[in-house]
Amino acid sequence: MTTMIEERKMIRDLAKKIAKDHFEPRAAEIDKNGEMPWDNLKILAENGLFGAHIPEEYGGTGADFHSHLSVVEEVAKACASTSVALSTQALTMAPFLIAGTQEQKEKYLTKLATGEVLGSFGITESQAGSDVAGVKTTATKDGDNYILNGHKIFITNAGESEIYVFVTRTSEERTKGITLFIVEKGTEGLTFGKKEEKMGIRGSVTREVFLENVRVPIANMLGGEGEGFKILMTVFNETRPVVGAQALGIAGAAFDYAKNYIQERTQFGKTLDQFQLSRAKISEMFIKLETARLLVYESGQRLQDQDSQVPLYSSMAKCYASDVAMELTTDAVQLLGGNGYIQDYPVERFMRDAKITQIYEGTNQIQLLIIANELLN
């Protein structure tokens, strides 16, 4: 019988090997071309890595949340763009696990967990980013259907995904007026804007989404009417550690490259690792990397244990790990000097990829407010 520790190691080792053999060699090309890494996503699906933490009855592997975090970390370490598909899939699957009906889970969650299709989660609008309760997209009841109208921005995988979960407003009540709906690609009135040209994670497609009189049946409501905000808060508790794991992978890649570089690069007749400043910097980087690792996996464990401090640790993990990723990737560029600034070396890509982890899933400034609320209220 396989123990939990053995299962975790097996899944991490599998993800690490796949990422190292298949994703890392093409990461620079994917970044340069700005195209979806469909071949990478196919490999993830074939190996059951989209739904490591999803119950087997819904197409997942049935492992724990720790294993899912480790998959995201290893994939992000090799190719951040590919890891975005994992984190977005987790975001899309979360409300199905939390509030989905049996029929919704069987119809949609299974396809998402196996990687048969991609999913997208539509929250952000021009006036509603960190303020999720500020969404203006409306859902108006019409008999046995709802009519959706609105405009979403910065939606990951938009146009590529087959399944969408949209955050809408069903009443004027600020938080109690939020409701989630499932919309399938091809539904009349659902259209997409041009692909955004981004600074980093360029192999992840981001587009605007337009909903014009999109008609969906009541059966496509996730949770009850007005329950969307409560569901979202629970969703974010799950997905913020995932962004933390992504940041951890990017930071780890930067650290490894910088460490190897200073052991080989020669200046003034000796390798850089013999200079005290370089040795101190690499030590500081490693301390921060491992501290971030402890916090990310602690948040995952608390989530699994349904600990009362999940919101606190979830926000801390996302905030700290992403700050560390930005700091370590910048340090790596500095350690490489001029070489760090040119595209022949990967550290400038690591730095560009790291920045988004401080922004999406709630900016780090919002995380600080959440942390303060959890500590003081």
Whether residue 334 is predicted with pLDDT greater than 80 in this model: the reply is: yes
Which of the residues are catalytic?
361
pLDDT, mean of residues 38-50: 97
pLDDT tens digits, 265-280: 999 999 999 999 999 9
DSSP string spanning 274-288? GSHHHHHHHHHHHHH
Q: Give the pLDDT score at 377.
A: 86
CA–CA separation, 75 and 122 (whole Å): 24
pLDDT tens digits, 204-255: 999 999 999 999 999 999 999 999 999 999 999 999 999 999 999 999 999 9
**Considering the entire predicted model, what is its pTM?**
0.96
pLDDT, mean of residues 54-79: 97
Distance of CA 53 to the CA centre of its chain: 15
Whether residue 349 is predicted with pLDDT greater than 70 in this model: the reply is: yes
Sorted by sequence, the CB contacts under 8 Å of residue 345 that are 6+ apart come out as: 257, 336, 339
DSSP-derived secondary structure letter, 196: P
pLDDT, mean of residues 13-20: 98
Whether residue 121 is predicted with pLDDT greater than 80 in this model: the reply is: yes
Whether residue 318 is predicted with pLDDT greater than 80 in this model: the reply is: yes
CA–CA separation, 177 and 192 (whole Å): 25
Q: Give the pLDDT score at 1.
A: 61
pLDDT tens digits, 179-209: 999 999 999 999 999 999 999 999 999 999 9
Whether residue 2 is predicted with pLDDT greater than 80 in this model: the reply is: no
CA–CA separation, 102 and 107 (whole Å): 9
Q: Give the pLDDT score at 128.
A: 84
Determine whether 353 is exposed, middle or buried from the number of CB atoms within 10 Å of its CB (0-12, 13-18, 19+). Answer: buried
Ramachandran class of 59: left when φ > 0, alpha when ψ lies in -120 to 50, beta otherwise = left
Domains of the chain: 1-118 (1.10.540.10), 120-226 (2.40.110.10), 229-376 (1.20.140.10)
Q: What mean pLDDT, rounded, does the chain reach?
A: 97
